[in-house]
Amino acid sequence: MAPVVGGGVAGETFHKVNFAAPRSFAAAFKSDLKETLFPDDPFHDFKGKPLPIKAKKALQYFVPIFEWLPKYTRKLFMYDLLAGITIASLAIPQGISYAKLANIPPIIGLYSSFVPPLIYSVFGSSKHLAVGTVAASSLIIAATIEAKVNPIENPQLYLNLVFTATLISGVTQLILGVFRLGILVDFLSHSTITGFMGGTATLICLQQLKGIFGLKHFTTHTDMVSVIRVILKNRKEIRWESTVVGVVFLVFLQFTRFVKQKKPKLFWVSAIAPMVVVVTGCVFAYVAHVEKHGIAIVGDLKKGINPSSLKNLDFDPKYLSAPIQAGLVTAMIALAEGIAIGRSFAIMENQQIDGNKEMIAFGLMNIIGSFTSCYLTTGPFSKTAVNYNAGCKTQMANVVMSICMMLTLFFLAPLFSYTPLVALSAIIMSAMLGLIEYDKAYHLYKTDKFDFIICMAAFFGVAFISMDVGLMLSVGLALLRALLYVARPASSKLGNIPDTSVYRDMEQYPGAIDIPKTLILQLGSPIYFANSGYLRERILRWVRDEQAKKASEGDDVEHVILDFGGVTSIDITGVETLVEIRRSLEVKDIKVVIVNPRLEVMEKLIVTKFIDKIGKERVFLSIEDAIEGCNFSLTHQKDCGSEER
Amino acid sequence: MAPVVGGGVAGETFHKVNFAAPRSFAAAFKSDLKETLFPDDPFHDFKGKPLPIKAKKALQYFVPIFEWLPKYTRKLFMYDLLAGITIASLAIPQGISYAKLANIPPIIGLYSSFVPPLIYSVFGSSKHLAVGTVAASSLIIAATIEAKVNPIENPQLYLNLVFTATLISGVTQLILGVFRLGILVDFLSHSTITGFMGGTATLICLQQLKGIFGLKHFTTHTDMVSVIRVILKNRKEIRWESTVVGVVFLVFLQFTRFVKQKKPKLFWVSAIAPMVVVVTGCVFAYVAHVEKHGIAIVGDLKKGINPSSLKNLDFDPKYLSAPIQAGLVTAMIALAEGIAIGRSFAIMENQQIDGNKEMIAFGLMNIIGSFTSCYLTTGPFSKTAVNYNAGCKTQMANVVMSICMMLTLFFLAPLFSYTPLVALSAIIMSAMLGLIEYDKAYHLYKTDKFDFIICMAAFFGVAFISMDVGLMLSVGLALLRALLYVARPASSKLGNIPDTSVYRDMEQYPGAIDIPKTLILQLGSPIYFANSGYLRERILRWVRDEQAKKASEGDDVEHVILDFGGVTSIDITGVETLVEIRRSLEVKDIKVVIVNPRLEVMEKLIVTKFIDKIGKERVFLSIEDAIEGCNFSLTHQKDCGSEER
């Protein structure tokens, strides 16, 4: 860092402003790139360590199992064993249900809880995340691929495209992680996710009415209107037997949730409830031959673990657009869900989760999953919460779940073929009802109307148009707001808080005192092309208003002090605008003074020669100095600055 | 404004923070809307005036001719007369040339300098803007509509679509103006416009080689590669006679520009040069029968003023996409060019230009133009500069030009039919060479590499792909930068400047002093969904680094003071992130203190109950107060705050 140079009208009276030469472009670029892609500085531990330790640390960083497995103890395993068995009991019904939601054979759902958790336990960095299939992604895959291929007429092609979509999703996640583009996930705001989840959950609930009512004909459209219309049209197909069983199961599941809410210690009641429903359903179906009464069962679950699906991957250009679309959308959604959930639980335990590393783990598990007859997996909220509550300590819980699933696939799979579809519908519906967060939406409404609109755009977009339209609408609105934030930055007039050297917004602090002959403006946010036109208008308006106000008091404006403390950066258009503002004000005999430019802004002002133009004596470290400086120039050098006009 | 309430650990020791109740949603929304759409507060003169005066002022506001005409004097007219005749002499060659560029009959170019200037003189608010056709928009219209209809095979349909595009462009501009969406034009940065103009000028220059070389065959593609390829392919068609004449004219025109640059007082030399070229060309063509030597002439210019083109407007859905695309793109480009130019000259004279009002004037002139056989007009830079230099005083100069054009159309049009095409090509080329701003690009390179990249993206995109791709690429990059500004806001560690109560960035002011047991962080820009994840990581990293640094000095971090002075707004995700940060830090026994939240941020923190959560005694007006407060709690209440954890 170069030494501090010059500054101040009368050198010694004022505190020195740093006019050091700007950093080189390479230095500034490197620092910007680091902030953009490595905000968490993952390699801060590496500095000054010898090479073998660096290599070991790097291995532990990229493959977390090398970090936790050496420290693993028998005691930790007891916790993980219990948690693993618990989540396996959830994985079986969820696997079958969500596979049904995606219109693929139920056994694929079970396969998907075997391989991916193993991969995650090697590469994943979250201790609590339980890997599995999720409803939202299952529905998106189904909706997108159904548009190209009918899953009933051409089930094999449909399944192949689902595997292809999974591969594309995994590759996307891997690429995002490797290039550290976790920043993209940041653009899915909480409000968007709340609305999107709510909308998707509503759709899925409606779709489950097919199972609950035991309907034979249904629509491949996913929007609310089509689904309600098809139910009304086929209302004569509704089977009361199925409906009764479904409602009973649903009431039971909702009751266990209610119990959990009232007594969080009884969380296991709601955790095992889906398994209870499935087992009860199977027994009931086996004993009562329910198929004869219009209650369909899953049917045909082959014994044995995942076959290879390498040859199933289908890149036929005729259909490729569907898996690409499904893959890209689900990659983002799955990441947003998985990372947000992993992060939430990590925060509870005061641990750090690296979003980019999680992306790599998710990407690898989906790539390998697509080769071994699995479809898209991520970290579902329900399973992860159960895992955490069941006391899991490390990623070993996923390994335990994986082994349980393997045993199930080898020995128990045929038993589950008696599962009534209506039981699965009830399980899905119950899970979905928990995802519609009325409270959160109401909270948004009360606290931030624009966030509420973003949330509702996602909800209604998903419910009435389609999932991607809803998502894009909501993200678009959120981006619009982001752009408006930068296009219309706040500025305020400052006044002196009595008996202090502090200057604050006069609207916020009505007691603050005006400074004679001076207008102090605080700017915020970067100044650049998108807001420089606005800022010019706004500053000139501030000046005009202040002139009118001061004129009515027999005073006038001779100095405009611009507080740059809140200006984080500036571009060429911004600097040109400053030049214009200065010119416009000097015509009115008003001098512009700048206070406290930040490092990056100062660099740009020096390199564009703006500082030379206004003169170093017009740049101050604090508002107090600036006011003193202005008074000094008013009394001692009435015409100071006129020579440079 | 509600009264100032509470604050400070020990009430009287500290300055009071304003915890006033938030404004209502309606009040905040109204204020935001006003800042977004009416940043210049156009009606500030109206307050408290009686209705008739308000009505008169409104009329004068919306139809500026009512403001300037009543004050008009004979002396002003003498200035405007001279300026009007001068720009008319420029309008004739430019009108014919640019019409040729747009592949429409040359007479349309003359028509376009008759009606639109009249409309602008009524509704326009710039005193210096001279209305006319421009090269960039002419080329865009040609490129877009040629893609649908061949102008040589089907000239009438092509012309009709050009009128339709003009109408769509006018309607777009009118709508943007009425809804005060001038903000959209803000998103075209100076860098984008520099690159776009340079790229377009390069393309147009290359295209003029057709005229200079006297080629008969050419391409309808506009990209550089196609144009160069077709010239090389048809090199045997090159006529030396045409080339010699073209080069002579071009050298003459460039020489007059050079004269103007060296002696700005001789600006009229370059102003009348195009007219000299056209007249010389006509005489030469008439005397030497140049057609026989391979030098084509304009041919066939009918006497008489604009016929109606109402029946020509063509909304056939088969072709409609082309005029819509051309209309939307040219509307934006023409606005950006016209408003920027009007504004530049207004600033020189210290006048205000209302971009939204200009949009309405441009919109009306293009709508009415499309009904009277005119194509797209705006305020071209060359003509406006000549108008200003010729001493124009009001919009009357446009009226004078309009009358000159009318006289030309009635009496002189046939004379111009001898104009050699090569003369027009030379005029266009010369104008274009002036639009390639090497200096500006070099300045960008020296001062802001990212702005340079934005500029080059527009330049190379336009030159090698197509105009809309180039424009979108460049605007996309600029928006990406805008989003990165908000996604990765600057934060810095503050230290005390010795002997003051001022706290500044310790990187910028290496002399600033660390505070024991305390870390002071300055945040900038809004905190919201797109950057809250980053800010959490960054703040935790600051804390980690500071802990390491302080530990090496035998100290530790007990308080983190967040300076919110630069935070202009916050959304729900941002508030949730603050809650998370606070939780993470409290686990490490570090207390979070907030300094100087702005009005809007304070409202959001109150309504979301964040202030209640951290306690009002943790919010301070200034960093100095906060440090005193922290020391106070360290010495007097060792465990202060632990009860609320």
B622 part of contact set with chain A, CB < 8 Å: yes
Chain center to CA of B50: 37
Record: contact A572-B505, CB cut-off 8 A: no
Record: contact B541-A572, CB cut-off 8 A: no
Residue of A nearest to B498 (CA): A15
Q: Quick one: pLDDT band at residue A61, thresholds 50, 70, 90? A: confident
Residue of B nearest to A622 (CA): B502
Percent of chain A residues past pLDDT 90, beyond the cut: 20
Token couple for A251: 């009431």
Alpha carbon separation from B147 to A10, A65, B106, B219, B222 (Å, rounded): 67, 59, 21, 12, 11
Record: contact B584-A41, CB cut-off 8 A: no
Which residues on chain B are in Cβ contact (under 8 Å) with A480?
Answer: none
At residue B516, does pLDDT exceed 50? yes
**What is the average pLDDT value for chain A, to the nearest integer?**
83
What pLDDT, in 10s, does the model give residues A585-629? 888 889 999 998 888 888 889 888 898 888 888 899 889 889 888
Q: What is the pLDDT of residue A348?
A: 63
Which residues on chain A are in Cβ contact (under 8 Å) with B524?
Answer: 524-525, 566-568, 598
When mean pLDDT is compared across A195-204, B36-45, B354-363, the lowest value belongs to: B36-45
What pLDDT, in 10s, does the model give residues B385-408? 778 877 788 999 999 999 999 999
What pLDDT, in 10s, does the model give residues A288-310? 887 777 777 877 778 888 899 98
- Chain B, 338 to 367: residues with Cβ < 8 Å from chain A are 347, 350, 352, 355
Nearest to A509 among B18, B492, B588 (CB): B18
Which of A540, A448, A527 is closest to B32 using CA atoms?
Answer: A448
B496 part of contact set with chain A, CB < 8 Å: no
At residue B315, does pLDDT exceed 80? yes
Token couple for A469: 């339209």
- Chain B, 116 to 135: residues with Cβ < 8 Å from chain A are none
B507 part of contact set with chain A, CB < 8 Å: yes
**Selected residue with higher pLDDT from B94 and B368:** B368
At residue B6, does pLDDT exceed 60? no
Q: What is the dihedral angle through the alpha carbons of A39, A45, A51, A57, rounded to the nearest 10 degrees?
A: -90
Min CA distance, A64 vs chain B (Å)? 20
Backbone dihedral region of A382: left (phi > 0), alpha (psi from -120 to 50 degrees) or beta?
Answer: alpha
Which of B505, B143, B511 is closest to A568 using CA atoms?
Answer: B505
Q: Over the Cα atoms of chain B, what is R_g? A: 32
A607 part of contact set with chain B, CB < 8 Å: yes
- Cβ-based neighbour number of residue A537 at 10 Å: 18
Record: contact A490-B538, CB cut-off 8 A: no
Record: contact B490-A569, CB cut-off 8 A: yes
Which of B261, B352, B433, B510 is closest to A20 using CA atoms?
Answer: B510
Interface test with A, best of B32, B450, B572, B613 (most A CBs within 10 A): B572
Q: What is the pTM of this model?
A: 0.73
Q: Find the angle CA(B569)-CA(B570)-CA(B576) to the nearest 5 degrees.
A: 165
Which of A644, A94, A185 is closest to A386 using CA atoms?
Answer: A94
What pLDDT, in 10s, does the model give residues B487-509? 778 788 999 988 888 899 888 88
Min CA distance, B554 vs chain A (Å)? 20
Nearest to A488 among B36, B533, B571 (CB): B36
Contacts of B603 (CB under 8 A, 6+ apart): B22, B23, B28
Min CA distance, B473 vs chain A (Å)? 16
At residue A82, does pLDDT exceed 60? yes
Which residues on chain B are in Cβ contact (under 8 Å) with A525?
Answer: 485, 524-526, 568
At residue A347, does pLDDT exceed 70? no
Alpha carbon separation from B455 to A579, B374, B472 (Å, rounded): 21, 32, 12
What pLDDT, in 10s, does the model give residues A116-163? 999 999 999 888 889 999 888 888 898 889 888 888 889 999 999 999
Average pLDDT over residues B543-553: 89
At residue A375, does pLDDT exceed 90? yes
A393 part of contact set with chain B, CB < 8 Å: no
Nearest to B40 among A508, A522, A537 (CB): A537
Record: contact B572-A541, CB cut-off 8 A: no
Q: What is the DSSP string of A35-95?
A: HHH-TT-TTTTTTT--HHHHHHHHHHHHSTHHHHSTT--HHHHHHHHHHHHHHHHHHHHHH
Nearest to B621 among A191, A484, A504 (CB): A504
Which of A41, A27, A28 is closest to B548 using CA atoms?
Answer: A41
Yes or no: say if B546 and B519 are a contact pair by the CB < 8 Å rule: yes
Min CA distance, B490 vs chain A (Å)? 6
Token couple for B529: 């969904």
Q: What is the pLDDT of residue A33?
A: 74
- Cβ-based neighbour number of residue B32 at 10 Å: 16
Record: contact B598-A505, CB cut-off 8 A: yes
Residue of B nearest to A346 (CA): B584
Mean pLDDT is highest, among A91-105, A398-412, A455-469, for: A398-412
Q: What is the pLDDT of residue B361?
A: 93
When mean pLDDT is compared across A167-181, A533-547, B40-54, B104-118, the lowest value belongs to: B40-54
B228 part of contact set with chain A, CB < 8 Å: no
Q: What is the pLDDT of residue A645?
A: 37
Record: contact B534-A484, CB cut-off 8 A: no
**Selected residue with higher pLDDT from B251 and A85:** B251
Which residues on chain B are in Cβ contact (under 8 Å) with A584?
Answer: 347, 350
Residue of B nearest to A480 (CA): B483
Min CA distance, A82 vs chain B (Å)? 28
Interface test with A, best of B191, B345, B448 (most A CBs within 10 A): B448
How far, in Å, CA of A444 to CA of A433, rounded?
A: 19
At residue A3, does pLDDT exceed 70? no
- Cβ-based neighbour number of residue B342 at 10 Å: 26
A631 part of contact set with chain B, CB < 8 Å: no
At residue A198, does pLDDT exceed 60? yes
- Chain A, 13 to 42: residues with Cβ < 8 Å from chain B are 15, 18, 25, 29, 32, 35-36, 39-41
At residue B560, does pLDDT exceed 50? yes
Q: Quick one: pLDDT band at residue A108, thresholds 50, 70, 90? A: very high
Record: contact A538-B607, CB cut-off 8 A: no
Counted across chains A and B, CB pairs separated by less than 8 A come out at 262
Which residues on chain B are in Cβ contact (under 8 Å) with A356?
Answer: none
- Work out the end-to-end distance of chain A between its first and last CA atoms, rounded to an integer number of angstroms: 33
How far, in Å, CA of A385 to CA of A345, rounded?
A: 8
Yes or no: say if B474 and B455 are a contact pair by the CB < 8 Å rule: yes
Which residues on chain A are in Cβ contact (under 8 Å) with B483?
Answer: 479, 482-483
Which residues on chain B are in Cβ contact (under 8 Å) with A552?
Answer: none
Average pLDDT over residues A367-389: 87
What pLDDT, in 10s, does the model give residues A496-526? 988 888 899 888 888 888 888 899 999 877 8
Which residues on chain A are in Cβ contact (under 8 Å) with B588?
Answer: 350
What pLDDT, in 10s, does the model give residues B419-459? 888 888 888 788 778 778 888 889 888 888 888 999 999 99
Record: contact B533-A571, CB cut-off 8 A: no
Record: contact A497-B621, CB cut-off 8 A: yes
Which of A502, A484, A498 is closest to A563 using CA atoms?
Answer: A502
Q: What is the pLDDT of residue A15?
A: 66
Nearest to A187 among B189, B530, B607 (CB): B530
Which residues on chain A are in Cβ contact (under 8 Å) with B533?
Answer: 182, 185-186, 355
- Chain B, 429 to 458: residues with Cβ < 8 Å from chain A are 443-444, 446-451
Q: Find the angle CA(B187)-CA(B191)-CA(B192) to the nearest 5 degrees.
A: 55
- Chain B, 159 to 188: residues with Cβ < 8 Å from chain A are 182-183, 185-188
Q: What is the DSSP string of A239-303?
A: -HHHHHHHHHHHHHHHHHHHHHHH-GGGHHHHHHHHHHHHHHHHHHHHHHTGGGGT--B-----S
Average pLDDT over residues A402-431: 86
